[in-house]
Structure 1
């Protein structure tokens, strides 16, 4: 009986501007089974051009799209929708994660549940968050007004990718930012979150791609840890379908 979950394509493409596309170079790389170390599919290889293309999509989404201008409660509704999707397909997600990373299936299932909880946590937090005010001498008052910053650069380790992606992605989206993040399971993520997904390129092993995905340039706040994994890039944002 095959261990390979159903639904894995022969070539995993990038997902940019709502379409599954090849890399700009047309190159691919092997995706290895962690148990046998044999290739079980191929993925489009991302380099500087693919990452720049994804970042441009994230910038357009931030400056031209509705997401940063939506009320906190509206963004919270979207994050709860994402959590609902994860919970409804928990077994499928766990099987994919276990096969791709080598995690025990029980651990992968628990991390799928945690990912859903992460999205719900930040959905609740953004609604409850209050700005700070400070009294100063005279008739004046100082206050803090938090606004979406722009495109956040998120880096997560390879060993528990989906759960850790949710840990970084949840607060970025909740705060009204778009994000560039590592993507270990691009086809799965695109399938789960297609209504919310603008761009999801995946990098291969090109050093210039690793460097480019961590450079600040059009990304305002890089955050995270490599955990032994080179940076990969994907861009998540929300389009007009969410209104």
Structure 2
């Protein structure tokens, strides 16, 4: 029987980059899953959580738990949203005897997209082609909370025409950090400027990552600096859907 997977689309994908959602569906279906997108889903609650609005974060967590119950797995093309559900929902609802066990159960079934493909489904190759040299940014939540590091690179290694050139410090934060970039704009700008310099030093023509927040932040900085580096979500490349949308931050043709 095919695994029944619910796709947590994420707010930024829904609002800024729908092709990432289509790419995730394509990758999951090609890997043998039945994919559904629960219509009741909203935000994961991370902005409220990071801002200290615990009551709103708890309300959103209950809504998400209710919307995604009953699936074999929940998959998100975002380490930060997946980590919010997998790591922070159980703590948020720890004092509620009704919602705590449901949050814990959902947490155990929630995965970041590339980690799910590699670690759960055992995918080692995707039939995609991308001509160019790419460099990969390790987003903080995916890396530090979910252990997403080798999985996207393993899949990229099998993409025809593609070569990976690592940054000197691929694990260093880009300065987005959810509400961090709003609270500390000067520090955030310095961090993303350093990241842009690290990207440029690789000579890569494309920057990839697995979180839209990071990608929007880095694309904005690269654009302001006049860089020709294209910015894309890793799922677009793995699914072979790069012709369906211009690079992030680029004007539509």
Give the TM-score of the pair, scaled to structure 2.
0.25
Say which one has the larger Rg. 1
Structure number having the greater helix percentage: 2
Q: Which has the higher contact order (CA 8 A, sep 6+)?
A: 1
